[in-house]
């Protein structure tokens, strides 16, 4: 199909304003927050209804044009980068809350709603959506689900996946169905569960039932300052091992503290080189005692100052500082690479020590802002990408952090996903058989590789080829032709 | 069953772990031709490989407590191997301070608990018959427990898995960290998959600290409307019970609403103060605080109520799920249908979650009728177990079908093209 025919068909489906073809405008969609690779789409569509999405998917499928669903493009692994061009379908005009059902702790939303806006709407009703990535002011719920995003409160409330009850999904054949509506465990495979975290590689989500939770009766937030990051990490390990169940345990190192100190006038003393944010919540009763115990651990580990944020306003300020710390990195260096990885929680102090060493060895600044309570670290390597030598050293630093993380029993991504950034690391964590099982899921759902192709699996594999080979071996091993000859359709009841 | 298959299985596992024609196990009438007990992941892969080559079907078998779940096995004339996971029962990896664990699928839930309890840790999914139910079986049937209200289900705590697929390929997913988005979340497909996509050989879980205090507030109601009012009031409050179970009163008339509160001692005290007040306001006949052994005994009984292993001949157990707000109406519906069919009911329902387990007893013919009418009218229901005298020819054990059946069929065929694993038992 030639480009202009495609564009006019799309215009007929979603209207003039819903189609972007201007080359400059298309550049906006050539990557997400990960700029390892860029590739402009051929055309961008911004549908306003589920029916339009179905029609666009059918059109793309008919002509074999790759289709990538995009939320806000804040992803950090290249998930929303259209590496093979084609159509980028942006959900930003599908941003409504369709239903809030408090008694059943659920809400039905369109995928393009901004996490923060949803949070504000729910808050007015005394509720919250527990998934709150630091990017919540910009990112969409659809993106959160597709990436199974994390955030500061995972330690108590779990990742996004624990808060998704069902999704309405469109497959490449244009079929559309709901996986669930909040009824616990329907019979059959958990298609909601497999879709969460699938990074848009086999469907487009058009609506979602999410779990909403009543706001806790009481919340306490405290910031403990340390002269070094290690005691902060050790405090985290000890709090976890001590059987507390805090709502958040977040660490910022000196570099991050400096970046936010000015912006938020936090008056952080110069000798402070790390901060640990501790939040506990629940019923009012006993909360202060719990917090006191945690503070005692922090002090024992050498906290030089402990700052309680008593009022909701003070708490909002502490959280704003934490959540915007990463955005402030732009001021420290022209380019940064955030490495998202997780280690078993007792390994946190050790890997933080390694990160320090790596910074020294590569002569680059590495700043840390991370979800310490989950063992999820985010060393941010600062460099100048126009400088070849710095780029090479940054690359080495990233590889070394990943290597060590795996050595400590960690995994390759805690919350940002694989996309293109971590594709090649998949083979370090998984065998070909492991990957083939994932490829089998891909082939069952997206047999023609229409959605977001070229992602997640190492580049040397086309997911569906891997699955086909796997199936060929399985069929041969089971002597399938002979079985079919003998039993016919009776094999399947 | 071919002697060649038996002898190659014996050679792979050792003769003592490969028993032909064992009379003990049966799946709703079908007896396996052989029972094999691999001791390692690799041996499990050998079994699946040999089974595939010989055209045999494989039924993964843990503690055997939920083998009556799902449809009847339909091997289509092929030999049937029961694959016992009993020997895959070790704790494989456990650093207590990480609060994660990896256990073999054949470990019983009790053995799993015994490994972590001494370290002040718990796994809050209270599966029925923990001394007999295995980790693998509980996962494959997506068992849940009353404390899902406070702590979630396997779905929230299942971090990693190793499975052996049809044909013998060994595939793992996830890992030993509490957060992980490295590739597809394959755990979700095996959870509740009834062993239809692969044999689970080991699983990794997130653990939680044992709460410092716990107690029960047991409220007694004469009728369902009061319970609905109490549930609404609890839902609107800021209280955070870990479980809220609606049960048929033992021996007597009426219903019990049992709340489990745990966590900080002060928080438990708060629930002990506030819950009875709400109960009184909503018309409870009385409420009682249970602690210590009484508390533990009550929950052990509630946890076991859905058990599907030891049934009277005239008994049928099913699970009904609905939106939480519909739970009381669902219970009312089951009671009415049972009564109309002359059956008696005992039940335990996760009242603020929308899941209930019901045990019906009555004439086989009327039981069959009752189940059919319930399965057709309830949002979601599935048979968990049937007593020996119950209607084998019951209609579909799955109740109403979910969306996405086509996709499920494609998944099954992709993973198990010759339908070797538990053929006929899962809904696709
Ligand atoms: C400053 C900053 C802080 C961040 N902090 C966190 C954090 O704390 N925790 C965390 O986990 N992440 C964090 N992120 C990463 C990112 O914000 C999250 O991954 C977020 O969920 C992505 O949402 P999005 O709407 O921007 O999705 P996009 O980037 O647009 O897309 C992400 C993926 O979702 C797919 N997708 C989007 N919508 C759909 C749909 N409707 N159907 C199917 N697939 C779809 C895309 O194809 C793509 O693969 C941060 C990013 C930034 C820039």
Mean pLDDT for back-to-back runs of 10 residues, chain B (428 residues): 89 95 71 94 97 95 92 91 97 96 98 97 98 98 98 98 97 97 98 97 97 97 96 98 94 90 97 98 97 98 96 93 98 95 96 97 89 90 81 73 95 96 94
- Phi and psi, residue A245, nearest 5°: -130, 70
Beta bridge pairs of residue A204 = A170
In chain B, the N- to C-terminal Cα span, in Å, equals 26
Gap between the Cα atoms of B131 and B107, Å rounded: 10
Q: Which of B148, B90, B152, B197 is nearest to B411 (CA)?
A: B197
Would B15 be classed as within a structural domain? yes
Chain A residues with CB inside 8 Å of B407's CB? 171, 189, 191, 444-445
Which CATH number fits the domain that encloses residue B8?
Answer: 3.30.43.10
Q: Which of B148, B183, B209 is the last residue of a domain?
A: B209
Query: Quick one: B296 and B314 in the same domain?
Result: no
Would B11 be classed as within a structural domain? yes
Query: Quick one: B29 and B76 in the same domain?
Result: yes
Query: Quick one: B348 and B291 in the same domain?
Result: no
Query: Quick one: B96 and B205 in the same domain?
Result: yes
Q: Which of B234, B354, B208 is nearest to B287 (CA)?
A: B234
E strand or H helix that includes residue A367: strand A366-370
Q: Which of B87, B117, B123, B93 is nearest to B105 (CA)?
A: B87
Tell me whether B152 touches chain A (CB under 8 Å).
yes
Gap between the Cα atoms of B171 and A441, Å rounded: 13
Would B117 be classed as within a structural domain? yes
SS3 of residue B242 by DSSP: coil
Query: Quick one: B314 and B414 in the same domain?
Result: yes
Picking from A346, A444, A479, the nearest residue to B407 by CB comes out as: A444
User: Are A478 and B418 an interchain contact pair (Cβ–Cβ within 8 Å)?
Assistant: yes
Dump the DSSP string for A395-440.
HHHHHHHHHHHHHTT-BS-SSS--TTTTGGGHHHHS-HHHHHHHHH
Q: Which of B348, B158, B163, B162 is nearest to B258 (CA)?
A: B348
Query: Quick one: B188 and B147 in the same domain?
Result: yes
User: Are A148 and B170 an interchain contact pair (Cβ–Cβ within 8 Å)?
Assistant: no
Would B428 be classed as within a structural domain? no
Domain that holds residue B363: 305-423
Question: Structure pTM?
Answer: 0.97
Chain A residues with CB inside 8 Å of B121's CB? 243
Q: What is the residue-level pLDDT of chain A in tens, covering all 493 positions? A: 788 899 999 999 999 999 999 999 999 999 999 878 899 999 999 999 999 999 999 999 999 999 999 999 999 999 999 999 999 999 999 999 999 999 999 999 999 999 999 999 999 999 999 999 999 999 999 999 999 999 999 999 999 999 999 999 999 999 999 999 999 999 999 999 999 999 999 999 999 999 999 999 999 999 999 999 999 999 998 898 888 889 999 999 999 998 888 777 788 999 999 999 999 999 999 999 999 999 999 999 999 999 998 888 889 888 988 888 877 777 788 889 999 999 999 999 999 999 999 999 999 999 999 999 999 999 999 999 999 999 999 999 999 999 999 999 999 999 999 999 999 999 999 999 999 999 999 999 999 999 999 999 999 999 999 999 999 999 999 888 888 888 888 888 6
Would B400 be classed as within a structural domain? yes
DSSP symbol at B96:
G
Amino acid A440: pLDDT: 98
Residue A227, both tokens = 């002269």
Which CATH number fits the domain that encloses residue B96?
Answer: 3.30.465.10
- Which residues, numbered 25 to 84 in chain B, qualify as contacts with chain A under a Cβ-Cβ cut-off of 8 Å? 49, 52-53, 55, 71, 74, 76-78
- Under 8 Å CB-to-CB from B303, ≥6 apart: which residues? B126, B127, B128, B130, B145, B146
In short, whether A327's Cβ falls inside 6 Å of ligand 1 is: yes
Query: Quick one: B49 and B135 in the same domain?
Result: no
User: Are A342 and B177 an interchain contact pair (Cβ–Cβ within 8 Å)?
Assistant: yes
Please tell me the total count of domains within chain B: 4
Q: ipTM higher than 0.95?
A: yes
Q: Which of A176, A150, A180, A184 is nearest to A374 (CA)?
A: A150
Which CATH number fits the domain that encloses residue B255?
Answer: 3.30.70.3450
In short, whether A143's Cβ falls inside 6 Å of ligand 1 is: yes
Per-residue burial over B135-173, b = 16 or more CB atoms within 10 Å of its CB, e = otherwise: bbbbbbbbbbbbbbbbbbbbbbbbbbbbbbbbbbbbbbb
Amino acid B395: pLDDT: 61
Q: Which of A339, A328, A303 is nearest to A228 (CA)?
A: A303
Query: Quick one: B299 and B310 in the same domain?
Result: no
E strand or H helix that includes residue A300: helix A287-300
Would B283 be classed as within a structural domain? yes
Dihedral Cα A133, A252, A322, A115, nearest 10 deg: 0
Gap between the Cα atoms of A77 and A456, Å rounded: 10
Q: Which of B304, B331, B355 is the last residue of a domain?
A: B304
User: Are A187 and B355 an interchain contact pair (Cβ–Cβ within 8 Å)?
Assistant: no
Which of A178, A185, A280 to mutate to test binding with chain B, by most B CBs within 10 Å of its CB? Answer: A185
Tell me whether A418 touches chain B (CB under 8 Å).
yes
Query: Quick one: B253 and B288 in the same domain?
Result: yes
Burial of B332 (0-12, 13-18, 19+ CB in 10 A): middle
E strand or H helix that includes residue B245: strand B243-248
Residue A314, both tokens = 């003070």
Amino acid B390: pLDDT: 67
CA angle B345, B348, B354 (to 5 degrees): 115
Please tell me the distance between residue A366's alpha carbon and the centre of ligand 1 in angstroms. 23
Query: Quick one: B309 and B418 in the same domain?
Result: yes
Distance from CA of A214 to the nearest CA of B (A): 8
Tell me whether B372 touches chain A (CB under 8 Å).
no
Tell me whether B418 touches chain A (CB under 8 Å).
yes
User: Are A478 and B423 an interchain contact pair (Cβ–Cβ within 8 Å)?
Assistant: no
A103: nearest CA partner in chain B? B325
Would B239 be classed as within a structural domain? yes
- Domains contained in chain A, CATH given: 3-90 (3.30.43.10), 97-214 (3.30.465.10), 218-323 (3.30.70.2190), 333-407 (3.30.70.2740), 430-487 (no CATH)
Query: Quick one: B185 and B145 in the same domain?
Result: yes
DSSP symbol at A329:
G
Chain A residues with CB inside 8 Å of B321's CB? 183-186
Residue A385, both tokens = 């990408």
Q: Which of B84, B111, B142 is the last residue of a domain?
A: B84
Query: Quick one: B310 and B389 in the same domain?
Result: yes
Beta bridge pairs of residue A44 = A20, A88
User: Are A285 and B239 an interchain contact pair (Cβ–Cβ within 8 Å)?
Assistant: no
């Amino acid at each position: 199909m030639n480009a202009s025919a495609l564009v006019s068909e799309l215009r007929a489906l979603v209207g003039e304003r819903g189609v972007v073809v201007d080359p400059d405008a298309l550049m906006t969609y050539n990557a997400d927050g990960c700029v390892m690779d860029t590739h402009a789409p051929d055309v961008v569509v911004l549908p306003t209804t589920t029916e339009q999405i179905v029609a666009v998917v059918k059109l793309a499928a008919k002509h074999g044009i790759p289709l990538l669903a995009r939320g806000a493009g804040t992803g950090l692994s290249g998930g929303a980068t259209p590496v093979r061009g084609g159509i980028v379908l942006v959900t930003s005009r599908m941003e409504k809350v369709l239903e809030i059902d408090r008694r059943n702790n659920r809400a039905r939303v369109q995928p393009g709603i901004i996490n923060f806006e949803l949070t504000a709407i729910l808050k007015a009703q005394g509720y919250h959506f527990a998934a709150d990535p630091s990017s919540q002011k910009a990112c969409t719920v659809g993106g959160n689900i597709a990436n199974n995003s994390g955030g500061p409160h995972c330690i108590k409330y779990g990742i996004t996946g624990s808060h998704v009850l069902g999704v309405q999904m469109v497959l490449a054949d244009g079929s559309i169905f709901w996986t669930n509506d909040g009824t616990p465990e329907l019979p059959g495979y958990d298609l909601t569960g497999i879709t969460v975290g699938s990074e848009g590689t086999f469907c487009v989500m058009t609506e979602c039932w999410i779990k909403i939770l009543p706001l806790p009766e009481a919340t306490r937030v405290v910031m403990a300052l340390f002269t070094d990051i290690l005691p902060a990490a050790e405090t985290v390990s000890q709090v976890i091992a001590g059987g507390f169940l805090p709502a958040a345990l977040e660490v910022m190192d000196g570099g991050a503290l400096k970046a936010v100190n000015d912006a938020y006038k936090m008056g952080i003393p110069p000798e402070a080189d790390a901060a640990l944010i501790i939040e506990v919540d629940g019923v009012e009763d006993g909360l202060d005692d719990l917090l006191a115990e945690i503070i005692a651990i922090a002090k024992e580990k050498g906290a030089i100052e402990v700052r309680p944020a008593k009022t909701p306003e003070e708490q909002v300020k502490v959280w704003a500082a934490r959540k915007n710390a990463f955005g402030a990195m732009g001021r420290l260096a022209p380019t940064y690479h955030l490495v998202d990885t997780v280690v078993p929680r007792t390994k946190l102090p050790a890997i933080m020590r390694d990160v320090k060493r790596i910074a020294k060895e590569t002569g680059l600044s590495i700043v840390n802002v991370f979800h310490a309570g989950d063992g999820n670290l985010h060393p941010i390597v600062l460099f100048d990408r126009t400088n070849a030598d710095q780029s090479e050293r940054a690359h080495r630093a990233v590889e070394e952090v990943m290597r060590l993380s795996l050595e400590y029993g960690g995994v390759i991504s805690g919350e940002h996903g694989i996309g293109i950034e971590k594709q090649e690391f998949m083979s370090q964590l998984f065998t070909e058989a492991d990957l083939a099982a994932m490829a089998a899921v891909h082939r069952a759902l997206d047999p023609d590789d229409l959605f977001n192709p070229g992602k997640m699996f190492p580049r040397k594999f086309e997911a569906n080829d891997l699955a086909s080979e796997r199936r060929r071996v399985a069929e041969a091993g089971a002597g399938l032709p002979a079985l079919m000859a003998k039993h016919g359709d009776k094999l399947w009841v | 069953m071919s002697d060649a298959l038996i002898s190659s299985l014996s050679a792979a596992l050792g003769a003592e772990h490969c028993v032909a024609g064992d009379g003990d196990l049966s799946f709703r009438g079908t007896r396996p031709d052989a029972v094999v007990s691999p001791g390692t992941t690799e041996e499990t892969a050998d079994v699946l490989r040999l089974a595939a080559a010989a055209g045999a079907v494989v039924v993964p078998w843990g503690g055997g407590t939920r083998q009556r779940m799902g449809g009847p096995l339909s091997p289509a004339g092929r030999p049937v191997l029961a694959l016992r996971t009993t020997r895959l029962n070790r704790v494989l990896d456990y650093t207590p301070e990480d609060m994660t664990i990896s256990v073999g699928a054949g470990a019983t839930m009790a053995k799993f608990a015994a490994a972590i309890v001494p370290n002040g840790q718990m796994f809050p999914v209270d599966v029925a018959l923990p001394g007999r139910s295995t980790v693998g079986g509980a996962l494959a049937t997506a068992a849940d427990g009353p404390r899902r209200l406070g702590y979630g289900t396997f779905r929230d705590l299942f971090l990693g898995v190793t499975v052996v697929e049809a044909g013998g390929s060994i595939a793992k997913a996830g890992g030993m960290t509490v957060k992980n988005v490295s590739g597809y979340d394959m755990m979700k497909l095996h959870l509740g998959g009834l062993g239809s996509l692969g044999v689970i050989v080991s699983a990794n879980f997130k653990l939680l600290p044992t709460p410092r205090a716990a107690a029960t507030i047991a409220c007694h109601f004469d009728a369902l409307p009061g319970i609905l009012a109490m549930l609404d009031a609890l839902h609107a409050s800021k209280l955070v019970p870990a479980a809220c179970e609606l049960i048929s009163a033992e021996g007597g008339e009426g219903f019990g609403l049992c709340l489990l509160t745990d966590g900080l001692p002060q928080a438990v005290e708060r629930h002990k103060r506030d819950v009875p007040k709400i109960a009184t306001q909503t018309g409870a006949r009385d409420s009682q605080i249970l602690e210590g052994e009484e508390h533990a005994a009550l929950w052990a009984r509630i946890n076991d109520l859905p058990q599907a292993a030891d049934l009277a001949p005239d008994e049928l157990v099913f699970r009904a799920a609905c939106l939480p707000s519909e739970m009381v109406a669902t219970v009312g519906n089951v009671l009415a249908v049972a009564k109309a069919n002359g059956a008696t009911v005992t039940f335990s329902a996760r009242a603020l979650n929308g899941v209930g387990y019901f045990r019906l007893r009555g004439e086989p013919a009327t039981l069959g009728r009752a189940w059919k009418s319930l399965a057709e009218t309830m949002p979601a229901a599935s048979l968990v177990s049937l007593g020996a005298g119950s209607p084998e020819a019951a209609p579909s054990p799955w109740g109403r079908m979910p969306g996405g059946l086509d996709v499920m069929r494609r998944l099954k065929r992709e993973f198990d093209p010759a339908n070797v694993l538990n053929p006929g038992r899962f809904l696709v």
